[in-house]
């Protein structure tokens, strides 16, 4: 356990050194990169020791501000969820050094809060009691808020940061009630003492809804996802990578830890996860298709991938209740692998988006185009990540979604109507979401990197720093490496993970899963080799007259105008028309009457139906209800002192009355 404490101390110390580096432009990022790299190495050593040697680590530490000790405990679940953080933290810091190099503001405080975010997420994953968990949760919230508020001169950044802050503290309130109820029943804040035994089904359902609201808000579970599409475009891209790849996984981690091992109302929770994940995934990817800002598209995509994970968890819980260990094992292993895979390819996608912002100073899809010729490293890495998130071989997204598909296929032949219904929801949901994801990322890759620039207002492309390029190259290699290493990852960690989640019966299926993944990898490698052979043949034999310095030829036009190309809205319009009820996009235009119109107007607005119809109405009602109380906040200091005196007097009277 000492290695973990050393890792946290190194990361936090690196943050403090960054903040104390004065006006030096290099030292803050150097301290951040070095501390995160050394901290990640120590975390990887701990994780490897746990899974390879089956070593568990725990420790109790007294903090002078608390009445009891805080408990650090590293088990299989916490060790697995620390892996994405250990991967993205140093790579994100390396990317961020180049990304912030054009900033005129000092970055000292930025790197302090970046390291604080990393340290708080790591400590949250190893928290053994509710006290440390909530402390880490709050530190994580404050750090992410300050990082989202990086460009505080923009009103959009301020609004996004405060929306995130409000949503996070709402989730904290629900989690506080959840932990307080369990602690009052068990007499301890330690997670090992928490139990649902003796509680009625209604009480367990209330507890689940409290935790679902608390953890689901952070995880992006519909309809609590509304902060994500606002916070990600406001935050720097390497911070968005860390928030999407790791921070939203803290919500999934909490739900997995506290609900997957329990058998209380497990079937009901499974259906909520399955159906809720389907709604989250579909709603998010439809909204992603309606967006014309790349980071907002990626934010909705994070909600969609969280929905896939929830669908897999729900299918696994249902299959466990129905005594189907093979189906349950495939679903749970697929869900956990997708947690890791999503962190890798989504981190790469956000860094690719950051490269566009750095090079072109815009993330608007309708203003970009033809960038594969100008920033080929970023373009190639973004296409690789797009293939991974679209679940195409040979990349890692294909592996985890293949296992989830396999769970549905292995259960659809069941004679039970409930099992068949679950399989249909899982398979049809994944197929529909997967098809829309493919459209979505074909749209982005085509609009941004192919064709010609769509706006004359885009400035000259700025060359990317080496740190940004290498960060993306490393993650692109991880997209391939995580797929090829998946049989080894399953054989090393899955048995311990399933045992920790009270799924020992499912562990007998791991050999068949590993063998299946090995066959899948052989197929993927053969596919990759075939594509490379055809590419080399084409390059050597058929590319003699190719000219990369000429404009794109299209339909007989030697020099097509940028208005002849697809726009972001026109590309996705056919797909969005199928889901017009979601109200993801509103198109306003004037009717064309003349044969040769001189000037016509077309306006496309993207909105979030959950915010408009579910979240905003109760907030407006509460605002009107509390409006009279604003008179209490008038800025007069002596009145505030009087409020404190009255409160202290009331507490004193209450205490005396109890005595």
pLDDT in tens, 619-642: 888 888 888 877 777 777 888 888
pLDDT number for residue 418: 85
Residue ranges per structural domain of the chain: 1-194, 251-538+565-581, 583-627
Place of tokens 């749209």: 443
Question: In the structure, what pLDDT confidence band is assigned to residue 155 with cuts at 50, 70 and 90?
Answer: confident
pLDDT at 490 over 80: yes
What's the mean pLDDT in 220-228?
A: 87
Question: Residue 270 and residue 321: Cα distance in Å, rounded?
Answer: 9
Question: In the structure, what pLDDT confidence band is assigned to residue 345 with cuts at 50, 70 and 90?
Answer: very high
pLDDT at 390 over 80: yes
What are the tens digits of pLDDT across the range 472-487?
999 999 999 999 999 9
What's the mean pLDDT in 77-99?
A: 93
203-212, 359-368, 399-408: segment of lowest average pLDDT: 359-368
pLDDT at 588 over 80: no
Backbone angles phi, psi at 343, to 5 degrees: -60, -40
Q: Give the N- to C-terminal CA distance of the chain in Å, as an integer.
A: 44
Provide the β-strand partners of residue 127. 72
Question: Residue 435 and residue 269: Cα distance in Å, rounded?
Answer: 27
pLDDT at 64 over 60: no
Range ranked top by mean pLDDT from 100-109, 171-180, 528-537 = 171-180
Nearest CA-CA partner of 196 in 116, 259, 289: 259
- The burial class, CB within 10 Å (0-12 / 13-18 / 19+), for 172 is middle
Place of tokens 């993205």: 88
Q: Are strands 69-74 and 57-62 parallel, antiparallel or unpaired?
A: antiparallel
Coil vs helix vs strand at 24: coil
Question: In the structure, what pLDDT confidence band is assigned to residue 455 with cuts at 50, 70 and 90?
Answer: low
pLDDT number for residue 58: 65
pLDDT at 33 over 70: yes
What are the tokens at 289?
Answer: 């298709």
Question: In the structure, what pLDDT confidence band is assigned to residue 43 with cuts at 50, 70 and 90?
Answer: very high
Question: Residue 517 and residue 510: Cα distance in Å, rounded?
Answer: 10
Question: In the structure, what pLDDT confidence band is assigned to residue 264 with cuts at 50, 70 and 90?
Answer: low
Nearest CA-CA partner of 5 in 137, 133, 126: 126
Range ranked top by mean pLDDT from 397-406, 529-538, 587-596 = 397-406
Mean pLDDT of the chain: 84
pLDDT at 603 over 90: no
Higher-scoring residue by pLDDT: 547, 615: 615
| Exposure letters 115-148 (e unless 16+ CB within 10 A, then b) | bbbbbbbbbbbbbbbbbbbbbbbebbbbbbbbbb
Question: In the structure, what pLDDT confidence band is assigned to residue 457 with cuts at 50, 70 and 90?
Answer: low
Question: Residue 309 and residue 302: Cα distance in Å, rounded?
Answer: 11
What are the tens digits of pLDDT across the range 492-526?
888 888 877 777 777 777 888 888 889 888 988 88
Would you tell me how many other CB atoms lie within 10 Å of the CB of residue 174?
Answer: 19
Element at 250 (helix H, strand E): helix 248-259
What's the mean pLDDT in 360-369?
A: 82
Would you tell me how many other CB atoms lie within 10 Å of the CB of residue 624?
Answer: 9
pLDDT number for residue 308: 94
What are the tokens at 121?
Answer: 């997420």
525: Cα separation from own chain's centroid: 28
pLDDT at 179 over 80: yes
pLDDT number for residue 547: 60
Question: In the structure, what pLDDT confidence band is assigned to residue 188 with cuts at 50, 70 and 90?
Answer: confident
pLDDT at 154 over 80: no
pLDDT number for residue 528: 86
Range ranked top by mean pLDDT from 358-362, 389-393, 453-457 = 389-393
The conformation of residue 492, written as its DSSP 8-state character, comes to I
What are the tens digits of pLDDT across the range 275-321?
999 999 999 998 888 888 899 999 999 999 999 999 999 999 898 88
Percentage of the chain beyond pLDDT 90 is 36
Q: How far is CA 491 from CA 330, 337, 487, 518, 574, in A?
A: 13, 12, 6, 11, 44
Question: In the structure, what pLDDT confidence band is assigned to residue 73 with cuts at 50, 70 and 90?
Answer: confident
Would you tell me how many other CB atoms lie within 10 Å of the CB of residue 602?
Answer: 11
Question: In the structure, what pLDDT confidence band is assigned to residue 63 with cuts at 50, 70 and 90?
Answer: low
Question: In the structure, what pLDDT confidence band is assigned to residue 371 with cuts at 50, 70 and 90?
Answer: confident
Coil vs helix vs strand at 464: coil
Neighbouring residues of 283: CB distance < 8 A, sequence distance ≥ 6: 222, 303, 582, 609, 610
Question: Residue 131 and residue 139: Cα distance in Å, rounded?
Answer: 12
The conformation of residue 553, written as its DSSP 8-state character, comes to P
Range ranked top by mean pLDDT from 136-140, 413-417, 602-606 = 136-140
What are the tokens at 426?
Answer: 């899982």
pLDDT at 443 over 80: yes
């Amino acid at each position: 356990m000492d290695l973990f404490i050393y890792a946290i101390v190194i990361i936090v110390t690196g943050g403090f050194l960054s903040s104390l580096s004065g006006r030096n432009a290099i030292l803050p990022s150097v301290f951040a990169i070095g501390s995160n790299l050394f901290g990640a190495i120590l975390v990887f050593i701990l994780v490897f020791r746990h899974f390879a040697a089956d070593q568990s680590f725990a420790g109790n530490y007294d903090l002078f501000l608390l009445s009891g000790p805080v408990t650090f405990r590293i088990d299989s679940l916490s060790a697995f969820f620390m892996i994405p953080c250990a991967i993205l933290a140093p790579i994100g810091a390396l990317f961020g050094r180049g990304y912030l190099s054009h900033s005129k503001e000092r970055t000292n405080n930025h790197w302090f809060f970046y390291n604080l975010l990393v340290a708080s997420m790591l400590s949250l994953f190893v928290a053994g009691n509710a006290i440390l968990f909530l402390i880490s949760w709050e530190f994580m919230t404050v750090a992410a808020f300050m990082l989202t508020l990086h460009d505080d001169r923009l009103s959009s950044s301020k609004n996004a940061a405060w929306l995130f802050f409000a949503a996070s503290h709402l989730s904290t309130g629900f989690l506080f009630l959840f932990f307080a109820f369990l602690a009052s029943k068990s007499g301890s804040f330690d997670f090992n003492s928490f139990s649902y035994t003796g509680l009625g089904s209604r009480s367990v359902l209330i507890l689940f809804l409290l935790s679902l609201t608390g953890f689901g808000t952070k995880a992006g579970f519909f309809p609590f996802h509304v902060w994500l599409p606002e916070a990600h475009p406001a935050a720097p891209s390497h911070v968005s990578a860390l928030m999407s790849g790791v921070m939203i996984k803290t919500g999934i981690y909490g739900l997995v830890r506290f609900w997957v091992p329990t058998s209380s109302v497990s079937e009901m929770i499974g259906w909520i996860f399955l159906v809720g994940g389907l709604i989250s995934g579909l709603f998010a990817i439809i909204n992603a298709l309606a967006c014309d800002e790349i980071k907002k598209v990626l934010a909705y995509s994070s909600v969609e991938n969280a929905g896939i994970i929830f669908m897999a968890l729900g299918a696994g819980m249902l299959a466990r209740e129905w005594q189907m260990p093979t189906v349950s094992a495939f679903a749970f292993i697929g869900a956990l692998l997708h947690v890791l895979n999503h962190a890798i390819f989504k981190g790469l996608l956000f860094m690719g988006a950051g490269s566009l912002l750095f090079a072109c100073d815009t993330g608007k899809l309708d203003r970009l185009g033809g960038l594969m010729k100008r920033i080929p490293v970023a373009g190639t890495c973004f296409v690789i990540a797009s293939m991974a998130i679209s679940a195409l071989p040979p990349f890692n997204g294909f592996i985890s979604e293949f296992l989830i598909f396999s769970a549905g296929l292995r259960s659809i032949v069941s004679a039970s109507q409930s099992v068949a219904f679950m399989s249909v929801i899982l398979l049809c949901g994944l197929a529909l979401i997967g098809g829309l994801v493919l459209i979505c990322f074909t749209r982005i890759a085509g609009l941004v990197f192919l064709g010609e620039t769509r706006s004359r207002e885009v400035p000259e492309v700025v060359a990317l720093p080496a740190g940004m390029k290498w960060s993306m190259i490393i993650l692109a290699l991880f997209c391939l490496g995580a797929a090829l290493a998946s049989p080894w990852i399953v054989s090393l960690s899955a048995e311990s993970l399933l045992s920790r989640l009270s799924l020992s019966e499912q562990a007998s299926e791991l050999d068949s899963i590993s063998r299946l993944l090995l066959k899948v990898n052989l197929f993927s490698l053969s596919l990759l080799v075939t594509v490379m052979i055809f590419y080399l043949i084409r390059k050597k034999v058929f590319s003699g007259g190719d000219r990369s310095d000429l404009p794109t030829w299209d339909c007989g036009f030697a020099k097509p105008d940028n208005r002849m190309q697809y726009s972001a809205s026109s590309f996705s319009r056919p797909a969005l028309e199928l889901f017009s009820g979601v109200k993801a996009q509103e198109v306003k235009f004037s009717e064309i009457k003349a044969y040769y119109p001189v000037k016509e107007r077309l306006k496309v607005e993207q909105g979030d139906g959950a915010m408009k119809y579910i979240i905003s109405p109760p907030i407006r009602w509460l605002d009107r209800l509390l409006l009279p109380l604003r008179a209490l906040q008038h800025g007069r200091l002596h009145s505030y002192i009087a409020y404190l005196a009255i409160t202290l007097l009331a507490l004193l009277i209450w205490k005396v009355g109890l005595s």
